[in-house]
Amino acid sequence: MIRSDFFHSLRFGALSLPLLNTTRRFTTTQNFPKAQHGNEELLVVIGGGAAGVYGAIRAKTVAPHLSVLVIEKGKFLSKVKISGGGRCNVTNGHYMEETVLADNYPRGYKELRGSFFSTHGPMDTMSWFSDHGVPLKTEDDGRVFPVSNSSSSIIDCLMLEAKSSGVSLQTGKVVTNVSTTNSGKFLVKIEKHTIDLVENVEANYVLVASGSNRQGHTLAMQLGHSVVDPMPSLFTFKIDDKHLAELSGITFPKVKAKLNVENVRRSIPEFTQVGPMLVTHWGLSGPVILRLSAWGARTLLVDFLPDLHIEDVKSMLLQHKDQFVKQKVLNTFPPKFGLVKRFWKYVLEQEGIDGDTLWASIPKNSLISVSSLLKQCSFRITGKGQFKDEFVTAGGVPLSEISLNTMESKIQPRLFFAGEVLNVDGITGGFNFQNAWSGGYIAGSSIGALATSCKDESV
Ligand SMILES: Cc1cc2nc3c(=O)[nH]c(=O)nc-3n(C[C@H](O)[C@H](O)[C@H](O)COP(=O)(O)OP(=O)(O)OC[C@H]3O[C@@H](n4cnc5c(N)ncnc54)[C@H](O)[C@@H]3O)c2cc1C
């Protein structure tokens, strides 16, 4: 039912807009914001996560005359809030060279070698936040956090910058449909379920930054794109070893873990990771495992003593044998190994050594085998368990359908994508947010440049 007498203004953030018509469901079709601002163009950003908000700010910075509207169905930057255990691992400070940086993306490592990170890489992200009043720090493993150790610093900064630059932020609304008009524009259908409101907004540019959300994929498909089926990317490794399961809860502060990947001949540095590892009741977890888990592999080799050479391990064991002849092998072992007794028991079991044997009776060969096991313990990966703390999705719009130097769709002009909606995923360490910042920045720059050239032409 059309209520044609219903002409009044609806507030879109800072913009006051005329409603042209409504239905019982308050459907409105708006020449937004053209009706109000003559030739001004509109960008609608779908999704107020890292990629969407960063992209919106960038577009508005490049083209201040462009109207920018971000539609977020939940809370703005909600993943930033919970990320990095509430600290937000903004980016990674150890990979400045683009090709090496790209190697940290199991999906995207080939495509991201080009202009993507050279246009806006980790250094640019760090400068951006520092310049906008958020000091950052790089931890030993390369992860970059706000000095405040609080993701709120990042959120406050982005929200303040978006608002002060004039980006219109709308929350509690969902983009449910996007189609193209004969004039080459987009008709964006926005719904607010709580008050049964439907708005149809005509936009010149659309940036899809909807994360791993299925709805975003549907919108991409409506506009002619294909979607690689989403699946979780970061896992723990399932290892069927009941003796290992008995070690559940033990943390190794520093191991060197290496994946043996079938059919990959060249040595890929990302297949080797150094850092903490945790034994769980069903396998292995911890930062080292998560960083490796995004790559498919069957065998994991763990060096439990990465700071010691194998020859040093052997000689320490032999010296220990000479020193502790009358002690049981289970009760004492070289303290420099820094191992817990439960794990030492596991090592002895693996080598078939009875823990009650005296050190004096242990053959030299057994000690050589123990050294090898400590330096290169092989685990067969039998499956993967989902890691819920940093859930990243692989899958989404294929990169082959996007021009990565602009983030514009190769299928639909003036349609842009950024962030996790694309078939890109990084290992842990700040790489996933970096994908969102880089993509958002490039898309925002391209849209801003297009809007500026359109404005110049119309003058
Ligand atoms: C617990 C956790 C911790 C993490 N920690 C880190 C970390 O420390 N470092 C790191 O690099 N990565 C981390 N990640 C991954 C990182 O959060 C994501 O890669 C990143 O948020 C992707 O950004 P995005 O903007 O593409 O998508 P999102 O952050 O998912 O934002 C997309 C937004 O779009 C909205 N949306 C979707 N569809 C619609 C629609 N139709 N209409 C309106 N709105 C819509 C969603 O509500 C959402 O807010 C973590 C992830 C999780 C879950």
Cα 164 to averaged position of ligand 1 atoms, centre (Å): 23
Taking the CA atoms of the chain, what radius of gyration do you get in angstroms?
Answer: 27
* pLDDT of 455 above 80: no
Assess whether the C-beta atom of 111 lies below 6 angstroms from ligand 1: no
Average pLDDT for 315-320: 97
| 390 touches ligand 1 (CB under 6 Å) | yes
For ligand 1, atom 4, name the residue with the nearest CA.
83
Is the minimum distance from the CB of 125 to ligand 1 under 6 angstroms? no
Determine whether the shortest distance from the Cβ of 210 to ligand 1 is under 6 A.
Answer: yes
Catalogue the E-assigned strands of 245-326. Answer: 251-260, 272-280, 283-285, 299-303
What is the domain partition of the chain in residue ranges? 9-231+392-458, 235-386
Pick the range with the lowest mean pLDDT from 31-40, 238-247, 311-320, 347-356. 31-40
What per-residue confidence (pLDDT) applies to 168? 97
Q: What is the pLDDT of residue 18?
A: 32
- Ligand 1 atom with the smallest distance to the CA of 419 is 26
CA 110 to ligand 1 centroid distance, Å: 23
Q: What is the pLDDT of residue 319?
A: 97
Q: Indicate the helix (H) or strand (E) that contains 265.
A: none
State both tokens at 417: 């994508």
SS (H, E, C) 29-60: EECCCHHHHCCCCEEEEECCCHHHHHHHHHHH
Question: Is the CB of 166 inside a 6 Å radius of any atom of ligand 1?
Answer: no
Query: What is the average pLDDT across 428-449?
Result: 96
Q: Tell me yes or no: is domain 9-231+392-458 CATH 3.50.50.60.
A: yes
Q: Is the pLDDT of residue 47 over 70?
A: yes
Q: Report in angstroms the alpha-carbon separations of 364 from 39, 86, 304.
A: 85, 50, 21
| pLDDT, position 310 | 96
pLDDT of 82 higher than 70: yes
Mutation choice for ligand 1 from 70, 83, 143, CB with most ligand atoms inside 8 A: 83
Rounded (10°) CA dihedral 236, 237, 242, 248: -30
**Cα(209)–Cα(421) distance, rounded to whole angstroms?**
6
The answer to whether the pTM exceeds 0.95 is no
Lowest mean pLDDT among 167-171, 199-203, 262-266, 438-442: 262-266
C-beta of 55 in contact with ligand 1 (< 6 A)? no
Output the pLDDT for position 278: 85
353/27: higher pLDDT: 353
398 CA distance to ligand 1 centroid (A)?
18
Decide: 36 in ligand 1 pocket, CB within 6 A.
no
pLDDT at 3 over 80: no
The CA distance from 211 to 331, in Å, is 53
- Give the residue-averaged pLDDT of 347-376: 96
Higher pLDDT, 184 or 69: 69
**Tokens 């507030």 sit at which residue?**
11
Q: Minimum mean pLDDT among 173-187, 388-402, 422-436: which range?
A: 388-402
| pLDDT score of 128 | 98
Predicted confidence at residue 293, as pLDDT, reads 84
Closest CA to ligand 1's atom 26: 419
CB of 392 within 6 A of ligand 1: the answer is: yes
Of 19-28, 153-162, 240-249, the least confident: 19-28
Write down the mean pLDDT value for the chain: 87
The answer, yes or no, to whether any atom of ligand 1 lies below 6 A from the CB of 143, is no
pLDDT at site 92: 95
Confidence of residue 37 (pLDDT cuts 50, 70, 90): very low
Could you tell me the two tokens for 350? 């693996």
How distant is the alpha carbon of residue 320 from its chain centre? 46
Give the whole-angstrom CA distance, residue 34 versus residue 36: 5
Task: Grade residue 24 by pLDDT with cuts at 50, 70 and 90.
Answer: very low
Cβ of 209 below 6 Å from ligand 1: yes
Whether residue 52 has its Cβ less than 6 Å from ligand 1 = yes
